[in-house]
Amino acid sequence: MAQPKYHRILLKLSGEALAGPQNYGIDVEAAHTIAARIAAVRELGIEIAVVIGAGNLWRGRDGMEHGMDRTTADHMGMLAICMNCLALRDALERIGVTTRVQTAIEMRPIAEPYIRLRAIRHLEKGRVVIFGAGTGNPYFTTDTAGMLRALEINANVMVKATKVNGIYSADPFKHPDAQHFAHLTYLEALNMGVQVMDSTALTMGMENHLPIIVLNLWQPGDLERALLGEAVGTTVSDNSDA
Question: Does the pLDDT at position 25 exceed 80?
Answer: yes
**Single pTM value for the model:** 0.95
DSSP H or E stretch at residue 95: none
Q: What is the C-alpha to C-alpha distance for residues 213 and 6, in angstroms, rounded to an integer? A: 12
Q: What is the C-alpha to C-alpha distance for residues 154 and 161, in angstroms, rounded to an integer? A: 19
Question: Does the pLDDT at position 241 exceed 50?
Answer: no
Question: Does the pLDDT at position 196 exceed 90?
Answer: no
CB 106 within 8 A of CB 37: no
Percentage of the chain beyond pLDDT 70 is 98
Of 36, 163, 14, nearest in space to 80 by CA = 14
More confident residue, 21 or 165: 165
Helix (H, G, I), strand (E, B) or coil at 49: strand
More confident residue, 123 or 173: 123
Residue 83: give the domain boundaries: 8-237
**Is 58 within a domain?**
yes
**Where residue 32 falls among pLDDT bands split at 50, 70, 90?**
very high
Structure confidence by residue, pLDDT tens digits, 95-148: 999 999 999 999 999 999 999 999 999 999 999 999 999 999 999 999 999 999
C-alpha distances (whole Å) from 146 to each of 1, 127, 198, 210 are 30, 18, 11, 12
**Is 131 within a domain?**
yes
**Where residue 1 falls among pLDDT bands split at 50, 70, 90?**
low
**Is 119 within a domain?**
yes
Question: Does the pLDDT at position 158 exceed 70?
Answer: yes
Burial class (CB in 10 A: 0-12, 13-18, 19+), 156: middle
What are the residues facing 180 on neighbouring strands? 168
Question: Does the pLDDT at position 81 exceed 50?
Answer: yes
**Is 242 within a domain?**
no
- pLDDT in the model for residue 91: 98
CATH no. for residue 216? Answer: 3.40.1160.10
**Is 1 within a domain?**
no
Helix (H, G, I), strand (E, B) or coil at 215: strand
Could you give the number of structural domains in the chain?
Answer: 1
**Where residue 34 falls among pLDDT bands split at 50, 70, 90?**
very high
